[in-house]
């Protein structure tokens, strides 16, 4: 067979991939969302067609025309012994892939009905062996032969195949006879087929096989692919020997049935009313999503009331056998089935409609209670089908009239009934998308998540009873959101069915919600919040990604309604007349255009000949021009490369020249001073010679005068004076650490040229030249002259250690003239690991364990309460929060204790020592539980979205991601939104490590990080100063060890206080600075003085801060990143970090950085490179 629906290649690709291929498997469910064709192959709802059948282990089943095997696999999963027969090779291959691993299933590829004449069912296989077929029983049926009953199958499934039997085979009667012959004496045929006079087809819905309307009512003229009426199908089945028949009616069709009713139900006294309640719109969700010309629910209600509802059902599922006993054994005695297999596996439910002692009840036969985060599903074993009209049916009737007063009264009673048990929000309420925690909105009971008007039944006394309380959401739901959700579901169904209403026909579902909300006395202002909440619900129930679900909801809400064809004067005849008139007009225009085209073609031919001549000449000249342009481009490229190379070399040379000139200037000054000292020494030498002569005389005199020798042999004092402070606490090294040493060094008679710190055989050059007027003043009191620039600062790296111990530190001082003096400074105690003190906690939920680290200090009670409530409302519920307090005042501590009391998820860690936010976050990270899977950082005054933790965790599915952070919306102290986004795309960079060291864009409160990274590489923090920030250090470490992910949607509200800049604006940091060439000219003393002297006081202070603190931070971070992550760094990045390690002593790395940023650009740094270079050059120029 050559039949195909166009999806075969995708189906084969998906099924060939490794993974679960069972019926309803999550990966196949996800594939079904990509269009109707894939839904037909993969939607879990396909298997709902089997609900009425008693499928038992060992049942021998023949699936005729099994396609890609969705029902074959479902039968095999239930333990049946299945043979699937498929005529299309690609589909047969797909069925084999889907059923691989099942020994009780075999797929045969062959044409129908020939393949049925020799096929046999498999037998149960022994463990570890494949099933083998029994010996076939060949037979052939000739004209006039009696019906054969020697088949070997207990059940034959013929789903969507009979319609094609005349196109691809011998015809429907012959195929039915062959299938019947394959059955045992008590075997049953399950035939699924469209109804020729189905309600949709009668009302103009395009026919499934041909796409045209009303083909069924005119009996498919000239078409072999077709379907039949109930009467005709019944006759054909009887002729095939299957006279015992049970007629079941799947809605909206047999492909994706959500409800299946026994036709016998419609003969029961309340049957038509029950059918309307269970089915609602008979075509809602029909395969292909095409529509009839008019609404179908009211037409269906009329047909039910008149007694011919079964005759116009959209499709049939006929169970046919040779005797009634076989039918009773093969199927359930229920009269209806409701199946919700489109959900995730944990939520799927199947209910059967049964008549118990004259009363209709829905019995749950599959599905258990389940909970996932804030959502629970309750198991309702039996629920009565209450008599009375459903509220949605009454509301549709009122809108159809139209009677707005009646509609308003119905919606008012709906709202009153749903909010009867409303209460105020409690602090203990679990926050979730349908309970965000607005204190001004009432809270309804947890089972009020689904208050669709169709779930309320009007009683004879006028009262309402709510049914189907399947879903429970946390401890309650937001009244406004769930009422708006009920109206949205109702409006969506109205729109899809094209139901009449008193407003404009082309209203979108969103506009219908607005009109209905007005009648109900509700506001629809929280529509966008509803979309987000509903997307979160669909993520839980259907497994659909939130972003995709939200986009589909928004698209659906914006679709315009269909014109009301029943309002067209003249009806279909008028439409046909208009179409024919348009066709005549189009034909006339077509003939006119053809004549014009002929004329233009002749003219075009003449012009083409001329154009060919011109093209030949143009081609020759183009070739010459191309050659010349290529030569020019080559030369230009060579010149540009040469200019760029010379520009870089010039910049680097100027930087090195600056370093050299400073060193030479210092040496010249020292040489001049040494020359003066030499003159002084010459004078002292002359004086000493005279003194020596005198001494000789004195010595001769001393021999004669006792006691005089003591005056001549006194010892000279030490000439080196210094003060270097060492850490007084143990140093935790981890994978490497830095310590900062500062102090002063003075020599009594010579100028100090260089100072070096010695540790563990390594030398660390110190920065010399810091102003210490206090030292100079104190030494002067002792008669010693000292320069004021005798200050010393050094960053000393400590290597990783495997055991605790002490490290001896030494001081080496080099004097001008080359003399070196060494002294011992003492020792520091070092520990090999970070100072981890993990807490032991009880994790409260399921899924990944998240430790939230919140640093607090004198928190505002209102802001803190909002932040803690937003934590409690997280959809991901397996978290604990470590509140690390930095010595708050008594009021702050009291707020922390009271707001976390009674909730074991909050762990308060108090400290009397105030160390600042940087060190406080370090303390919090040291207390993270050892078994945590993720760490989220938190401020004390923000407000998190309910899905923040869940959304950030999704990014950790990529093992390379070490840190993930999100965008944030900005709010003021009153909660008013100032900006929906903090990071315009062009200002947010998280890929370039050097740029991140210059300017951080990763905010801590938006971040989640892997605990392994924190324990092994982040801790301990580097030394702190006024320019060190915890989030920048953590982000830089994450980027050095792996990669960072960014979630572009805001996941929390960042609260700005006081004078914070609205919109999170980053200033241009190099504003007011001269060009790089001017700065280098200033560095070598040949220009730039005008700018230097014209600096404002504020700008001078800013540059002093950059040179004193930010440069120090960059050098610290670069040094530690290189030390701790050498196993992860690419060679090019390691080289860049090595250059930055000496940026506080050499100008060349900063010049290179600024030139590179100017020439090629880096991640967005707001001009930080030039500002850093300017601050250092200004500092040197002073």
For the stretch 470-485, pLDDT in tens is 999 999 999 999 999 9
> Is the entire prediction scored with pTM above 0.85?
no
Confidence class of residue 11 from pLDDT cuts 50, 70 and 90? very high
pLDDT tens-digit map of 1004-1056: 999 999 999 999 999 999 998 888 999 999 999 999 999 999 998 899 999 88
pLDDT score for 631: 84
* Section 659-671 average pLDDT: 60
Confidence class of residue 1147 from pLDDT cuts 50, 70 and 90? confident
Q: Answer whether 240's CB lies under 8 Å from 180's CB.
A: yes
Q: Answer whether 941's CB lies under 8 Å from 864's CB.
A: yes
pLDDT score for 140: 36
pLDDT score for 1162: 45
Confidence class of residue 1059 from pLDDT cuts 50, 70 and 90? very low
Q: Is 13 helix (H, G, I), strand (E, B) or coil?
A: helix
Q: Answer whether 156's CB lies under 8 Å from 187's CB.
A: yes
Confidence class of residue 123 from pLDDT cuts 50, 70 and 90? low
* Section 76-89 average pLDDT: 94
pLDDT score for 647: 63
Phi, psi of 492 (to 5 degrees): -60, -40
Confidence class of residue 1104 from pLDDT cuts 50, 70 and 90? confident
* Section 13-32 average pLDDT: 92
As a whole number of angstroms, the distance between CA 75 and CA 157 comes to: 10
CA 326 to mean position of chain CA atoms? 53
Minimum mean pLDDT among 236-240, 351-355, 778-782: which range?
778-782
pLDDT tens-digit map of 806-846: 999 999 999 988 889 999 999 999 998 888 999 999 999 99
pLDDT score for 214: 85
Q: Answer whether 253's CB lies under 8 Å from 236's CB.
A: no
**Using N-to-C axis directions, what is the helix angle for 1030-1041 and 1111-1124, rounded to 10°?**
40
As a whole number of angstroms, the distance between CA 777 and CA 866 comes to: 55
Q: Is 1008 helix (H, G, I), strand (E, B) or coil?
A: strand
Residue 1065 clears pLDDT 70, i.e. is over it: no
* Section 296-321 average pLDDT: 94
Beta bridge partners of 61: 82, 155
As a whole number of angstroms, the distance between CA 1026 and CA 1105 comes to: 9
As a whole number of angstroms, the distance between CA 180 and CA 866 comes to: 70
Percentage of the residues of the chain whose pLDDT score is greater than 90: 57
CATH 2.60.40 fits 720-826, yes or no: yes
Q: Taking all residues of the chain, what is their mean pLDDT, rounded to a whole number? A: 86
CATH topology of domain 383-567: Aminoglycoside 3'-phosphotransferase; Chain: A, domain 2 (3.90.1200)
- Tell me the CATH class for 8-336: alpha beta
* Section 353-365 average pLDDT: 93
Pick the CATH number of 850-1055 from 2.40.50.140, 3.40.50.300, 1.10.10.10, 3.90.550.10: 3.90.550.10
As a whole number of angstroms, the distance between CA 983 and CA 61 comes to: 60
As a whole number of angstroms, the distance between CA 38 and CA 23 comes to: 14
pLDDT tens-digit map of 946-986: 999 999 999 999 999 999 999 999 888 888 888 888 876 55
* Section 597-620 average pLDDT: 87
pLDDT tens-digit map of 492-503: 999 988 899 999
As a whole number of angstroms, the distance between CA 403 and CA 406 comes to: 5
pLDDT tens-digit map of 1107-1116: 888 889 999 9
Peptide bond into 252 cis (omega under 30): yes
Of all helices (H) and strands (E), which one includes residue 241?
none
As a whole number of angstroms, the distance between CA 555 and CA 548 comes to: 11
pLDDT tens-digit map of 682-732: 554 554 454 454 445 444 434 433 433 322 222 234 588 899 989 988 999
pLDDT score for 707: 35
């Amino acid at each position: 067979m050559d039949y195909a629906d166009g999806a075969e290649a995708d189906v084969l690709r998906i099924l060939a991939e490794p993974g679960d291929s069972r019926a309803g498997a999550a990966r196949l469910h996800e594939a079904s969302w990509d269009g109707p064709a894939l839904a037909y192959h993969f939607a879990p709802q396909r298997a709902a067609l089997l609900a009425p059948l008693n499928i038992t282990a060992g049942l021998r089943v023949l699936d005729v025309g099994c396609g890609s095997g969705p029902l074959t696999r479902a039968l095999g999963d239930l333990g049946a012994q299945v043979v699937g027969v498929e005529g299309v090779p690609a589909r047969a291959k797909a069925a084999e892939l889907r059923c691989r691993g099942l020994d009780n299933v075999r797929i045969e590829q062959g044409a129908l009905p020939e393949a049925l004449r020799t096929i046999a069912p498999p037998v149960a296989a022994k463990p570890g062996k494949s099933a083998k077929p029994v010996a076939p029983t060949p037979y052939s049926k000739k004209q006039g032969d009696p019906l054969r009953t020697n088949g070997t199958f207990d059940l034959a499934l013929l789903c969507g195949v009979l319609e094609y039997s005349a196109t691809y085979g011998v015809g429907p009667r012959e195929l039915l006879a062959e299938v019947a012959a394959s059955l045992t004496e008590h075997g049953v045929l399950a035939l699924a087929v469209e109804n020729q006079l189905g309600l949709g087809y009668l009302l103009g819905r395009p026919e499934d096989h041909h796409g045209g309307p009303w083909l069924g009512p005119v009996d498919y003229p000239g078409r072999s692919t077709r379907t039949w009426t109930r009467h005709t199908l019944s006759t054909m089945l009887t002729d095939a020997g299957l006279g015992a028949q049970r007629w079941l009616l799947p809605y909206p069709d047999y492909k994706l049935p959500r409800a299946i009713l026994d036709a016998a139900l419609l003969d029961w006294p309340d049957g038509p009313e029950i059918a309307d309640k269970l089915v609602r719109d008979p075509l809602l969700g029909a395969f292909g999503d095409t529509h009839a010309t008019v609404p179908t629910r009211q037409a269906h209600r009329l047909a039910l009331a008149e007694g011919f509802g079964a005759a116009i059902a959209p499709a049939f599922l006929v169970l046919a056998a040779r005797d009634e006993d076989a039918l009773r054994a093969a199927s359930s005695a229920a009269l209806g089935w409701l199946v919700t297999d489109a959900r995730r596996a944990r939520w799927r439910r199947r209910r059967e409609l049964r008549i118990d002692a004259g009363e209709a009840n829905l019995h749950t036969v599959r599905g258990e209670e389940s909970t996932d985060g804030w959502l629970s599903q309750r198991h309702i074993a039996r629920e009565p089908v209450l008599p009375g009209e459903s509220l949605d049916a009454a509301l549709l009737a009122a809108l159809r009239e139209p009677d707005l007063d009646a509609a308003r009264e119905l919606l008012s009673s709906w709202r009153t009934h749903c909010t009867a048990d409303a209460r105020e929000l409690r602090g203990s309420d679990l926050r979730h998308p349908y309970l965000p925690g607005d204190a001004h909105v009432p809270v309804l009971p947890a089972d009020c998540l689904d208050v669709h008007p169709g779930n309320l039944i009007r009683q004879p006394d006028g009262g309402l009873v709510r049914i189907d309380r399947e879903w429970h959401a946390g401890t309650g739901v937001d009244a406004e959101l769930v009422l708006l959700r009920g109206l949205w579901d109702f409006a969506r169904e109205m729109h899809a069915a094209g139901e009449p209403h008193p407003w404009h026909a082309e209203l979108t579902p969103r506009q219908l919600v607005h009109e209905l909300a007005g009648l109900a006395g509700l506001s629809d202002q929280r529509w966008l919040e509803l979309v987000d909440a509903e997307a979160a619900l669909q993520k839980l129930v259907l497994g659909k990604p939130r972003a995709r679900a939200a986009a589909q909801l928004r698209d659906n809400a914006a679709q315009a309604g269909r014109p009301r064809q029943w309002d067209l004067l003249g009806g279909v005849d008028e439409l046909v007349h208009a179409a024919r008139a348009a066709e005549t007009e189009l034909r006339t225009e077509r003939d006119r255009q053809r004549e014009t085209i002929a004329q233009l073609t002749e003219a075009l031919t003449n012009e083409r000949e001329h154009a060919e001549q011109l093209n030949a000449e143009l081609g020759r000249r183009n070739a010459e021009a191309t050659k010349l342009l290529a030569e020019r481009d080559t030369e230009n490229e060579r010149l540009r490369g040469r200019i760029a190379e010379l520009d870089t070399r010039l910049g680097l040379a100027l930087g090195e020249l600056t370093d050299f000139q400073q060193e030479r200037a210092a040496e010249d000054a020292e040489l001049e001073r040494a020359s003066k000292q030499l003159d002084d020494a010459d004078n002292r030498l002359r004086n000493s010679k005279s003194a020596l002569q005198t001494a000789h005389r004195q010595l001769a005199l001393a021999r004669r005068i006792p006691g005089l020798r003591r005056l001549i042999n006194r010892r000279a004092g030490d000439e080196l004076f210094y003060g270097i402070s060492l850490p007084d606490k143990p140093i935790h090294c981890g994978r490497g650490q830095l310590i900062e040493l500062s102090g002063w060094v003075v020599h009594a008679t010579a100028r100090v040229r260089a100072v070096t710190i010695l540790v563990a055989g390594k030398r660390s050059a110190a920065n010399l030249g810091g102003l210490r007027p206090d030292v100079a003043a104190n030494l002067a009191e002792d008669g010693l002259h000292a320069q004021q620039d005798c200050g010393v600062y050094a960053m000393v790296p400590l290597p990783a250690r495997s055991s605790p111990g002490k490290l001896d530190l030494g001081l080496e001082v080099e004097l001008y003239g080359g003399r070196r003096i060494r002294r011992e400074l003492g020792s520091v105690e070092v520990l090999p690991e970070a100072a981890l003190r993990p807490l032991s906690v009880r994790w409260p939920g399921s899924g990944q364990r998240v430790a939230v680290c919140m640093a607090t200090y004198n928190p505002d009670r209102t802001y803190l309460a909002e932040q803690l409530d937003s934590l409690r409302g997280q959809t991901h519920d397996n978290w604990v929060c470590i509140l690390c307090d930095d010595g708050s005042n008594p009021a702050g501590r009291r707020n922390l204790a009271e707001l976390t009391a009674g909730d074991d998820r909050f762990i308060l860690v108090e400290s009397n020592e105030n160390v600042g936010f940087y060190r406080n976050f370090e303390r919090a990270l040291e207390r993270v539980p050892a078994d945590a899977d993720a760490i989220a950082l938190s401020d004390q005054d923000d407000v998190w979205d309910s899905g923040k933790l869940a959304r950030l965790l999704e990014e950790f599915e990529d093992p390379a991601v070490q840190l993930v952070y999100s965008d944030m919306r900005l709010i003021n102290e009153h909660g008013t939104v100032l900006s929906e986004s903090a990071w315009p795309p062009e200002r947010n960079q998280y890929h370039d490590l050097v740029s991140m060291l210059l300017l951080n864009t990763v905010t801590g409160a938006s971040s989640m990080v892997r605990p392994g990274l924190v324990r092994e590489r982040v801790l301990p923090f580097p030394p702190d100063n006024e320019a060190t920030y915890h989030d920048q250090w953590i982000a830089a470490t994450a980027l050095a060890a792996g990669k960072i992910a960014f979630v572009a949607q805001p996941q929390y509200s960042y609260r700005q206080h006081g004078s914070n800049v609205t919109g999170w604006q980053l200033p241009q940091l190099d504003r007011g600075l001269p060009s790089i060439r001017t700065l280098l000219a200033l560095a070598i003393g040949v220009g730039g003085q005008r700018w230097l002297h014209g600096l404002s006081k504020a700008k001078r202070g800013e540059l002093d801060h950059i040179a004193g603190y930010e440069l120090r931070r960059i050098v610290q971070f670069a040094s530690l990143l290189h030390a701790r992550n050498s196993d992860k760094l690419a060679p090019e990045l390691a080289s860049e970090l090595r250059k930055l390690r000496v940026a506080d002593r050499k100008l060349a790395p900063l010049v290179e950085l600024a030139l590179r940023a100017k020439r090629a650009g880096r991640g967005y740094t707001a001009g930080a490179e030039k500002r850093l270079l300017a601050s250092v050059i200004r500092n040197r120029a002073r």
